[in-house]
Amino acid sequence: MSDLQDQMKQAVAAAATEQIQSGMVVGLGSGSTAALMIQALGAKLKSGELRDIVGVTTSFQGEVLAAELGIPLQSLNAVDRIDLAIDGADEVDPSFQLIKGGGACHVQEKLVAVRAQRFVVVVDSTKLVETLNLGFLLPVEVMPSAWRQVQGQLREMGGDAQLRMAVKKAGPVVTDQGNLVLDVKFAGGISDPVNLEKEINNLPGVLENGLFVNITDQVLVGEIKDGVAGVRDLVKR
C-alpha cells in the first residue's frame, strides 16, 4: 500500500470513528480501512473517551483484532439492535451501490449492514467508480458441492466465473461459513445491480453475493488534496 493511500485510509477511518457514541452497539467491518477504524475505536475506549460500547464483527479477522484491543463483543444473535455499522467497500458507484467481498466476508458483512440503523461506508478515493465490476470482480459465495453448477448458470447470465484460489495454501479459498467463492466478471460491467443481486441469489447453491444495493446511508471518502489527506462526504447521485 502506498503512503498516500495509507494516509487516506487513516483519515477516513478516524472520521468514521467520530460518529460512534458511548452506549452504542457498533457493527465492525472487515478489510484494511475497517481495521484502522477498529484500532481507533479501541484507543478511544482505552482512553475513556468512549464507554459502554458493544461490537458486532463481520469476520474472524475483525473479531481477533477487536478482542486484542479489549473491545467488548457480542454475536449478531445476541444483540437486539445495531446502532451504527462501519465498513469498507471494494467499489462504490454514484448511487451508493457497492461491491464487497474482496476478503470473502460479504455474507456476515451484509447481515450486519442490513441490521444497522445506519450503515456508513469508508473508502479511499481509488474505490470510486462510475460502473461496478469493470475493475473489480463480483464475489459469489456458493456451497462447495454446487460451485460447478453455479458457475455454469452464471455463464448463461453472461458472467465469467472463476473459483477463487487461496494464496500460500493449496486449493480454493474457504469462507468463514465453510463455503467457496466464485469471482465473476460481466462484460461491460454491472448496469443494473439491484436486479442482478436478486437474480444471482435466486440460483440454487448460492448463499450470497457481493452486491450491496440500497443499503448504504453515507459514504466517507479519504482523498489527498494539495498533499494533505482529508475526508469528503460523498454526495449521492
Q: Which residues are tagged catalytic?
A: 109
140/161 Cα distance (integer angstroms)? 9
**Buried (b) or exposed (e) across 113-136, using 16+ Cβ within 10 A?**
bebbeebbbbbbeebbbeebbeeb
